[in-house]
Structure 1
Amino acid sequence: MDIRATKPHESLERVGLLRSLDANDRVSFERRCNWRHAHAKEWLLEQNDVGTDIFFLTSGVVRVLITPSPDREVILGDIEAGGYFGEMAAIDGQPRSAGILAITDATIASMPAPVFREIIHKYPDVSEQLLLQLVARIRMLDQRVHEFSSMHVKHRIFAELLRRSRPDPTNERQAIVSPPPVHSDIAARVSTRREMVAREMKALERSGLMLKRRGAFVLTNVPELLQQLHSDEK
């Protein structure tokens, strides 16, 4: 990781978890961080790395991945500016449970675990927000495990598209996925091959359940997709 920092982004002000810190404390904690700049496609953490720092992302986007086998990666999610990672190791001191890859150039504040615990003890709101976000992550992972264990790959792809979509303001039955994800990205998120994603996306188009527009996919019948997902769960 390049140790040169990008000065305009060396602030924790945008980090949602730390929004309750008063300005003086925030500046003090910023000075106790190690500020670094990473380039796109650079690994910030490897799965099973040893270390207890927590990392705050103040610019850029990073991706959370696990590697069940040397030739396969599973994407758990992306973290945008204002987010954080490494909190589990900061809490329990265990090796990193996932790898972190920079998707874009990024600025990261590395905070030692004792400093983070100091914040948690001084600011109950930070502790509460951390607990809520950890619970939300556990619920999300529970849902992913359920999908992997009980859904056909076709329906895992449907579920991923629905997760990425937003309602179409012009049609309540439709949803928009923008920007449209590449097949390899979907495959890594639902634990299948890129070729399988390509086949199922073509099938969605042929059935009329998905249309391609410039810069977007349109899911034309969300209730029907949801019904198919529910039928797969029975």
Structure 2
Amino acid sequence: MDIQKLIEMGCPVRKYPKDSIVYEPGSQPKNIFFVKTGEVRMVTVNDDGKEFIQGIFKTGQYFGEPALLVDKPYLAFTIVSKPSEIVTVSKKNFINLIKTDAEYSMSLIKVLSNRLFYKSMMLEELANEKAEHRLLTIINYLFNDNPNGESLSVTRQDLADLTGLRVETVIREVKNMADKNLIIVKRGKIYKT
């Protein structure tokens, strides 16, 4: 979806500082959100305060549509990871886009299907107790989502939050995977072999 088109439709753009919350679990969806610039993470938080990342949304991506489509409260926090500009699209405008823009509708189906695939993959991985396997699966998934061959722009903490592992385990396993030539690590960044 062309974000400029949304702005021309009159959808407001709001600036969010790092660590601000876009929406919280339990709140009723009224909008979906397109990231014009920046990055947002969707997380659930356990009773001990540990975050589990459900998704990361970057420039050009959007979030919040599943809850809006099924008219159910949000299940997770969305927290701004980097200072961001976010375009807010009302439910009425969003439904109108789906009805009138076939290309956008097909794109939405693909996005939702990819997210469903990711959730299914992660459920299977969380059942697997081997940390290396979990990490390799998420790293390969993230590389497939980033086909330019660039390094992954995730921290060790992000990998821990994505896999349900401890940061110390991630650090150790990333080093072990690099030693086994399963990944390349240069200056702390992860590259595909």
Q: Do they superpose with TM above 0.5?
A: yes
* Partner residue in 2 for 1:44: 22
Q: 2:142 aligns with which of 146, 150, 164?
A: 164
Q: 2:133 aligns with which of 155, 158, 175?
A: 155
Q: SS in structure 2 opposite 1:103?
A: strand
Q: 1:87 aligns with which of 55, 65, 68?
A: 65
Using the TM superposition, give the Cα deviation of residue 74 of structure 1 relative to its aligned residue in structure 2, in angstroms. 0.9
Using the TM superposition, give the Cα deviation of residue 207 of structure 1 relative to its aligned residue in structure 2, in angstroms. 4.1
Aligned residue-pair number: 189
Identical aligned residues as a percent:
23
Q: Unmatched 5+ residue regions in structure 1?
A: 1-11, 16-22, 167-175, 221-234
1:56-205 to structure 2, matched below 5 A, reads 56-165=34-143, 178-179=151-152, 181-205=154-178
Counterpart-to-counterpart distance in 1, 2:188 and 2:168? 21
Q: SS in structure 2 opposite 1:48?
A: coil
Counterpart-to-counterpart distance in 1, 2:156 and 2:169? 9
Residues 51, 210 of structure 1: alpha-carbon distance in 2 compared, 3 angstrom cutoff? closer
Give yes or no for contact 1:179–1:215 (8 Å, CA) kept in 2: no
Residues 135, 153 of structure 1: alpha-carbon distance in 2 compared, 3 angstrom cutoff? same
Structure 1 runs (4+) deviating above 6 angstroms are none
Counterpart-to-counterpart distance in 1, 2:121 and 2:61? 22
* Partner residue in 2 for 1:213: 186
Counterpart-to-counterpart distance in 1, 2:121 and 2:130? 14
AA at the equivalent of 1:184: Q
AA at the equivalent of 2:168: E
Residues 68, 94 of structure 1: alpha-carbon distance in 2 compared, 3 angstrom cutoff? same
Q: Larger relative contact order (C-alpha < 8 A, sep ≥ 6)?
A: 2
The Cα offsets for residues 122-146 of structure 1, whole Å up to 9 and x where unpaired, read as 2233222212221121111111111
The Cα offsets for residues 6-39 of structure 1, whole Å up to 9 and x where unpaired, read as xxxxxx7347xxxxxxx6xx5652x1x2321101
Counterpart-to-counterpart distance in 1, 2:37 and 2:139? 26
Q: Kindly indicate whether residue 2 of structure 2 is the aligned counterpart of residue 13 of structure 1.
A: yes
Give yes or no for contact 1:42–1:102 (8 Å, CA) kept in 2: yes
Of stretches 202-211 and 178-187 in structure 1, the one that deviates more from structure 2 is: 202-211
Residues 28, 177 of structure 1: alpha-carbon distance in 2 compared, 3 angstrom cutoff? closer
Give yes or no for contact 1:51–1:89 (8 Å, CA) kept in 2: yes
Counterpart-to-counterpart distance in 2, 1:132 and 1:180? 23
Counterpart-to-counterpart distance in 2, 1:126 and 1:208? 40
| TM-score scaled by length of structure 2 | 0.83
| TM-score scaled by length of structure 1 | 0.70
AA at the equivalent of 2:39: V
Residues 88, 204 of structure 1: alpha-carbon distance in 2 compared, 3 angstrom cutoff? closer
Using the TM superposition, give the Cα deviation of residue 117 of structure 1 relative to its aligned residue in structure 2, in angstroms. 1.1
Give the aligned CA root-mean-square deviation in angstroms: 2.6
